[in-house]
């Protein structure tokens, strides 16, 4: 499998041209304003996946409720990504999305499934999968599903399982994304507050007291796999052939969620360049320094080049709630079949553990990193009406949140 796309950004600003225009008294609306826009920047990101999958199914023997079947298989895959920023953006000539991700992931897996009915009323499905990633180790994912139908109109069901997700190419192999972090002071070279009207406080290097900081979000090869544990329990009722109702409870816990370190309050990891000679405010100037009072001095450490924000295993999530589904259909002979279905999902809890604090998100408006700032409602409703006659299938749907 191979995918290639072309991404073109237009109407970006060329900072050097804009600065030149501002330095020469640019007037908004001038006829030469178009010259400050950079030419279109194009990049062609690609992704590929090579997969080998061999599996088979065999009926082992008959049980009182039906056959016991075994399915086994092996799998190998390679997944690759090659995403680069346009050259003019990567070189800083023009504004744009300065992002790249390059690398391959390899996985070898074996899996097995047992499915059967020990008695007519009981259905059991047991699965297990073993994955071994070349870069992030191995994991075992077991799953179990049970359905018990004591009478034809009622059934109870439940599932339990564990899962995992290996870090992606961008998270754990090779990637980078540059962004502005605002204007900040250097905590080592400008540790003191700058007095009003001065350019530096005593003991400060003036040039480092207010400078634009660039942040870089990059891959972390030491990440752990994201793991999950989930279980469900439910009941299905069908008192008549035309009507059915089901209620299911779900509980999901996720550990080692991967997030960018820039989301963590107070996280700092500066990458510094070589030492340099800058204007220094002597400690004897207790009231601070003007530009004229600065003296040249070599910095004890290099100046900040950028702030490094790697991906980290720094988040956990716990979600629980229940789903209700009601369905009724009418058979109108030659006029076809009409079906009405209503579903309701209620979130009991949506807890996000982040930076040592647990946040309850169910029924809140955010955060933007989870919901795109569109909210996390506790209740979601969906109503669907459909009509089928022969090969025709029309339906109307309404969602309420």
Q: Where are the domains of the chain?
A: 135-388
pLDDT at 39 over 90: no
Q: In the predicted model, is pLDDT for residue 225 greater than 60?
A: yes
Stretch 335-357: mean pLDDT? 90
Distance CA 84, CA 47 (A): 12
Identify the CA nearest to 347 among candidates 371, 373, 311. Answer: 371
Most confident of 200-214, 252-266, 348-362: 200-214
Paired tokens of 21: 């225009």
**Beta strand 99-119 with 122-133: parallel, antiparallel or unpaired?**
antiparallel
Residue 299 pLDDT class (50, 70, 90 cuts): very high
How far apart, in Å, are the Cα atoms of 123 and each of 61, 118, 206, 234, 367?
15, 7, 74, 15, 41
pLDDT band at residue 268 using 50, 70 and 90 as cut-offs: confident
pLDDT value of position 297: 96
DSSP string, 223-241: PPPEEEEEEEEEEEEEEET
Whether residue 255 is predicted with pLDDT greater than 80 in this model: the reply is: yes
Average pLDDT over residues 284-297: 94
Gyration radius of the chain over CA positions: 30
Q: How do residues 176-192 score in pLDDT, each as one tens digit? A: 988 888 899 999 999 99
What token pair was written down for 32?
A: 């030469």
> Cα–Cα distance between 132 and 168 in angstroms, integer?
14
Indicate if the pLDDT at residue 317 is higher than 80.
yes
d(CA 28, CA 339): 61
Helix ranges, 142-237 (H): 169-172
Helix (H) and strand (E) counts for the chain?
4, 21
- Percentage of the chain surpassing pLDDT 70? 92
110 touches 141 (CB < 8 A): no
With b for 16 or more beta-carbon neighbours within 10 A and e for fewer, the 268-286 pattern comes to eebeeeeeeebbbbeeebe
At 10, the pLDDT band (50, 70, 90 cuts) reads: confident
3-state secondary structure of 68: strand
CA angle centred on 100, ends 41 and 85, rounded to 5°: 10
Strand-pair partners of 382:
343, 399
Would you say residue 372 has pLDDT above 80? no
For the entire predicted model, the pTM comes to 0.79
Q: 143 forms bridges with which residues in the sheet?
A: 127, 161
What's the rounded Cα separation, in Å, for the pair 189 and 207? Answer: 9
Question: Across residues 349-357, what is the average pLDDT?
Answer: 85
154 preceded by cis ω (within 30°)?
no
297 vs 25, which has greater pLDDT? 297
Nearest to 131 by CA among 178, 180, 74, 179: 74
Q: What is the mean pLDDT of the chain?
A: 89
Confidence of residue 34 (pLDDT cuts 50, 70, 90): confident
Look at the block and give the residue holding tokens 């997700």: 165
């Amino acid at each position: 499998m191979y995918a290639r796309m072309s991404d073109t950004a237009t109407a970006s600003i060329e900072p050097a041209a804009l600065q030149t225009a501002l330095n020469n008294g640019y007037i908004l609306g001038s006829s030469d304003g178009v010259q400050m826009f950079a030419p279109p920047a194009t990049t062609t990101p690609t992704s590929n996946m090579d997969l080998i999958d061999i599996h088979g199914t065999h009926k082992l023997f008959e049980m009182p409720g039906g056959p016991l079947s075994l399915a086994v298989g092996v799998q190998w895959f390679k997944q690759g990504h090659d995403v680069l920023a346009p050259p003019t953006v990567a070189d800083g000539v023009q504004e744009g999305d300065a992002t790249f991700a390059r690398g391959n992931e390899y996985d070898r897996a074996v899996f097995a499934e047992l499915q059967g009915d020990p008695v007519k009323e009981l259905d059991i499905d047991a699965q297990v999968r073993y994955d071994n990633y070349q870069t992030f180790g191995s994991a075992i994912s077991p799953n179990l599903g049970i359905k018990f139908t004591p009478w034809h109109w009622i059934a109870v069901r439940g599932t339990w399982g564990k899962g995992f997700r290996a870090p992606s190419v961008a998270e754990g192999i090779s990637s980078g994304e540059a962004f502005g972090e605002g204007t900040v002071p250097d905590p080592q070279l400008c540790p003191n507050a700058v007095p009003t009207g001065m350019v530096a406080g005593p003991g400060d290097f003036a040039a480092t007291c207010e400078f634009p900081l660039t942040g870089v979000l990059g891959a972390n090869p030491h990440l752990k796999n994201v793991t999950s544990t989930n279980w469900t329990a439910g009941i299905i009722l069908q008192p008549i052939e035309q009507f059915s109702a089901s209620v299911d409870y779900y509980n999901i816990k996720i550990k080692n969620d991967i997030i960018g370190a820039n989301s963590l309050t107070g996280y700092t990891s500066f990458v510094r360049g070589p030492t340099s000679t800058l204007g220094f405010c002597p400690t004897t100037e207790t009231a601070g320094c003007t530009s004229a009072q600065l003296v040249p001095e070599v910095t004890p450490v290099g100046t900040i080049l950028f702030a490094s924000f790697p991906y980290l295993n720094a988040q956990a999530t716990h979600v629980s709630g229940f789903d209700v589904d009601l369905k009724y259909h009418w058979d109108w002979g030659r006029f076809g079949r009409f079906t009405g279905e209503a579903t309701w999902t209620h979130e009991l809890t949506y807890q996000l553990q982040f930076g040592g604090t647990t946040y309850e998100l169910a029924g809140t408006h955010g955060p933007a990193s989870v919901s795109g700032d569109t909210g996390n409602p506790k209740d979601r409703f969906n109503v669907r009406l459909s009509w089928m006659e022969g090969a025709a299938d029309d339906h109307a749907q309404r969602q309420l949140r």
